[in-house]
Amino acid sequence: MMKVNQLLGFSAVLSATSALECSPSAIQAALPSNATVNFAQALPANSTFEVPKSDTGYPGSPIGLPALCAVSIQVKSIGNSTFGLGLFLPDDWNGRFLAVGNGGFAGGINWLDMAPGVRYGFATMSTDTGHNSSTIDGSWAYQQPEKIENWGHLAMHGSTVVAKTVIPAYYSQEISFNYYAGCSTGGRQGLKEAELYPDDFDGIVAGAPAWWTSHLQPWTIKVASYNLPTSADYHIPPSLFGVVQKEVMRQCDSQDGVKDGIISSPDTCSFRPEDLLCGESPTNSTDCLTAPQISTLYKLYSDFVGENQTFFYPHLNLGTESQWRIHLASDAPNPLGTGYPQFFMGFGADWRWQDFNEDVQRLADRTDPGNASVKFDLSSFHAKGGKIISYHGMIDAHIPTNSLKYFYNQVDRTLKPLGVDVDSFFRAFFVPGMAHCAGTDVDAPWYFAGPNQAGQLGPTVHGVPGFEDRDHDVLLALLAWVEEGVKPEKIVGTKYVNETLHSEVLRQRPLCMYPKQARYVGNGDVNDAESWTCKYPYE
Ligand SMILES: *[C@@H]1O[C@H](CO)[C@@H](O)[C@H](O)[C@H]1NC(C)=O
Ligand SMILES: *[C@@H]1O[C@H](CO)[C@@H](O)[C@H](O)[C@H]1NC(C)=O
Ligand SMILES: *[C@@H]1O[C@H](CO)[C@@H](O)[C@H](O)[C@H]1NC(C)=O
Ligand SMILES: *[C@@H]1O[C@H](CO)[C@@H](O)[C@H](O)[C@H]1NC(C)=O
Ligand SMILES: *[C@@H]1O[C@H](CO)[C@@H](O)[C@H](O)[C@H]1NC(C)=O
Ligand SMILES: *[C@@H]1O[C@H](CO)[C@@H](O)[C@H](O)[C@H]1NC(C)=O
Ligand SMILES: *[C@@H]1O[C@H](CO)[C@@H](O)[C@H](O)[C@H]1NC(C)=O
Ligand SMILES: *[C@@H]1O[C@H](CO)[C@@H](O)[C@H](O)[C@H]1NC(C)=O
């Protein structure tokens, strides 16, 4: 197995032997008095870590692990609340710390996502955020402000502090660098760390960040309401989503210079929904839309804007139609929306989505339960030399792509007047054809070893098989930026012919640093990354 130090081309002292034994009493001795070891257990190479049954958020057990010490710790937090964290401490340590993130409202130690990290050699940590629940279940938050605050930011920070106490004691060696990688809620957790706790990490990968909790959750209700009730004449049934997608593809695909099923620049496509209108007596009414349904399309592709032109949330991208079932296939909004007023804002389980209005959105904005939403002033993180790589899939319907664009631009607005060049420490990359955090259904080059991605290739995968370098692997790109000052201008995405075999490559393409976009140079194999260049839209 290639180690991170070799990949970066420099040697570092690797610790092969630990100073502490992997036992509850030895780990306990390294902990502050507010933390208690649940278990500490040495696993030989190629073990399976059996996830405890109570970990309902992340029940999957990682297999084929390198030799390591698996630790679970409970920490006392505010009030009577606690949070837990898990650690994988590999025998063959690369000297670095990596924290991974969570998803949705889920509570649980994400042992599965810790596995790729420990395969690189990182001492890897995940927090349960202070509760146990599935991704879409927010009921734990009802009248529990302390639990919400733990989920919002306290548990990630507190778990990081504990991990950074245990790791040097365990190896009897200082940690060289501290990293974070998470997607979705995990992306939010990373940006929140940069905002509030700039000393925790040197580098952060924040994928598809759910950074604007107080607006994303209300939008989740709003967007579903456009297509409800299912009995309305304007309702677009899921059986027509593919019809809409086909038309969007017809009108928008070739705008990036190549007709390949991948829309790279949805915002510059002037899509005309009326081309989908049914005629007087349609021969086939399952491949066209009525005038009221066309009106629904306009809403879906429009920003959520309130009274006095107040911007609340960006629209669904053109090209997201294959992902619309997340929000638009049921007779009610996704529980990630409804659960927010019910449980986080305290309206109760009986609150109905039909009662959603702008006042609910404005109240959410004012109260921001758990301080979960990320603010734009990242100047402390910049000042201490921290680096952030963020990215977002362009067919993500869970969290509209432009929410990252908005965040990046707002950070720029906040920091440029302070004399800070945002690209000197925070870079955003948009991934044409990628869905939420991972995957594609248009054969787009979506894989770059981002958080949550490796598991899609196989249970023992880490990095980018066949391309274990900083040009193709976003985590290695971050390490190179933090440790060697190599600024990432682009990251090459990979699409394998068959993901689970991941031997043969179908296509590779650069993912460009925003606001640049990948453009075909006009000759050469379109499936070869070398045939593409990163250009400003106006170039
Ligand atoms: C690892 O374990 C699996 C099953 O637990 C076994 O099939 C495989 O041969 C083992 N690999 C090595 C390298 O020991
Ligand atoms: C969640 O489950 C873990 C075991 O995975 C347990 O140790 C912890 O006490 C539970 N947390 C809560 C808040 O119930
Ligand atoms: C636990 O105690 C340590 C040492 O006093 C302190 O630094 C840390 O902030 C505490 N953690 C929490 C979550 O209160
Ligand atoms: C902890 O406190 C909350 C309110 O602050 C209360 O609802 C809950 O029942 C308490 N839990 C325990 C185990 O005492
Ligand atoms: C009607 O259009 C749909 C969607 O394009 C297609 O799947 C179906 O086969 C068509 N039916 C007929 C009778 O042409
Ligand atoms: C919109 O603007 C008008 C005029 O300034 C103001 O009276 C009103 O309160 C504003 N509405 C909201 C929701 O802020
Ligand atoms: C969290 O929110 C509360 C209530 O709005 C506020 O008093 C507190 O300062 C916030 N804490 C942080 C860290 O933002
Ligand atoms: C990929 O390869 C695996 C293993 O050979 C096979 O089971 C699977 O069907 C293949 N997937 C596709 C989409 O061809």
The residue annotated as part of the active site, out of 215, 436, 472, 502, is 436
253, part of any domain: yes
29 lies in the same domain as 99: yes
121 lies in the same domain as 226: no
Q: Which of 203, 82, 167, 69 is nearest to 132 (CA)?
A: 82
Q: What's the gap in Å between 34 CA and the centre of ligand 3?
A: 6
Q: Which of 181, 153, 516, 205 is nearest to 387 (CA)?
A: 205
Report angle CA 297, 302, 273 to the nearest 5 degrees. 35
Q: Is residue 537 very low, low, confident or very high in pLDDT (cuts 50, 70, 90)?
A: confident
431, part of any domain: no
258, part of any domain: yes
| Both structure tokens of 172 | 């009897």
241, part of any domain: yes
The pLDDT value given to residue 1:
38
Distance between CA 459 and CA 77 in Å, rounded? 33
Among the atoms of ligand 1, which is closest to the Cα of residue 48? 5
160 lies in the same domain as 286: no
Query: Is 64's C-beta closer than 6 angstroms to any atom of ligand 1?
Result: yes
161 lies in the same domain as 248: no
* Ligand nearest to the backbone CA of 157: 3
The pLDDT value given to residue 18:
66
End residue of a domain, out of 156, 175, 194: 175
Residue 14 has pLDDT above 60, yes or no: no
436 in catalytic set: yes
The pLDDT value given to residue 288:
95
Residue nearest to atom 3 of ligand 7 (CA): 371
Residue nearest to atom 13 of ligand 2 (CA): 131
Is the torsion defined by CA of 76, 108, 462, 42 positive or negative? positive
Q: Probe ligand 7: pick from 157, 371, 376, max atoms within 8 Å of CB?
A: 371
67 lies in the same domain as 7: yes
**496: enclosing H helix or E strand:** strand 490-496
Residue nearest to atom 5 of ligand 5 (CA): 287
Residues with CB under 6 A from ligand 8: 498, 500-501
Q: Is residue 282 very low, low, confident or very high in pLDDT (cuts 50, 70, 90)?
A: low
Query: Is 307's C-beta closer than 6 angstroms to any atom of ligand 6?
Result: yes
Cis ω on the peptide bond leading into residue 488 (within 30° of 0)? no
Q: What is the pLDDT of residues 45-54, one digit of tens each?
A: 999 999 999 8
Q: What is the pLDDT of residues 417-470, one digit of tens each?
A: 999 999 999 999 999 999 999 999 999 999 999 999 999 999 999 999 999 999
End residue of a domain, out of 175, 205, 225: 175
271 lies in the same domain as 356: yes
263 lies in the same domain as 364: yes
244 lies in the same domain as 138: no
Helix boundaries (H) for 306-461: 325-328, 335-339, 358-367, 379-383, 402-415, 454-457
Task: Specify the residue for token string 């995990």.
Answer: 186
Report angle CA 40, 44, 45 to the nearest 5 degrees. 130
398, part of any domain: no
Distance between CA 460 and CA 465 in Å, rounded? 11
Q: What is the pLDDT of residues 150-178, one digit of tens each?
A: 999 999 999 999 999 999 999 999 999 99
% of residues, the chain, pLDDT over 90: 92
Average pLDDT over residues 480-502: 98
15, part of any domain: yes
Q: What is the pLDDT of residues 293-307, one digit of tens each?
A: 999 999 999 999 999
Residue nearest to atom 8 of ligand 7 (CA): 371
162 lies in the same domain as 269: no
Q: What is the pLDDT of residues 210-232, one digit of tens each?
A: 999 999 999 999 999 999 999 99
134 lies in the same domain as 226: no
Q: Is residue 9 very low, low, confident or very high in pLDDT (cuts 50, 70, 90)?
A: very low
252 lies in the same domain as 365: yes
The pLDDT value given to residue 461:
98
Q: Which of 429, 490, 502, 493 is nearest to 465 (CA)?
A: 502
Number of domains in the chain: 2
Residue nearest to atom 11 of ligand 1 (CA): 46
Q: What's the gap in Å between 143 CA and the centre of ligand 4?
A: 10
* Ligand nearest to the backbone CA of 214: 7
**Domain enclosing residue 269, as ranges:** 216-370
Q: What's the gap in Å between 144 CA and the centre of ligand 4?
A: 8
Residue 7 has pLDDT above 70, yes or no: no
Among the atoms of ligand 8, which is closest to the Cα of residue 499? 1
| Both structure tokens of 171 | 């190896």
Three-state SS for 276-310 is: HECCCCCCCCCCCECHHHHHHHHHHCCCEEEHHHE
Query: Is 239's C-beta closer than 6 angstroms to any atom of ligand 6?
Result: no
End residue of a domain, out of 315, 348, 370: 370
| Both structure tokens of 135 | 């991704």
61 in catalytic set: no
533, part of any domain: no
Residue nearest to atom 7 of ligand 6 (CA): 308
327 in catalytic set: no
Cβ atoms of 457 and 463 within 8 Å: the answer is no
Residue nearest to atom 1 of ligand 6 (CA): 308
* Ligand nearest to the backbone CA of 156: 3
Q: Probe ligand 3: pick from 28, 31, 34, 76, max atoms within 8 Å of CB?
A: 34
**322: enclosing H helix or E strand:** none
Question: Residue 512 pairs with which residues in a beta bridge?
Answer: 490
pTM of the model as a whole: 0.94
Q: What's the gap in Å between 113 CA and the centre of ligand 8?
A: 23
152 by DSSP, 3-state: which?
A: helix
Residues with CB under 6 A from ligand 4: 79-80, 146
Q: Probe ligand 1: pick from 43, 46, 49, 61, max atoms within 8 Å of CB?
A: 46
- Alpha carbon 200 to chain centroid distance? 19
Among the atoms of ligand 8, which is closest to the Cα of residue 498? 1
421, part of any domain: no
The residue annotated as part of the active site, out of 91, 200, 396, 473, is 396
252 lies in the same domain as 171: no
Q: What is the pLDDT of residues 94-115, one digit of tens each?
A: 999 999 999 999 999 999 999 9
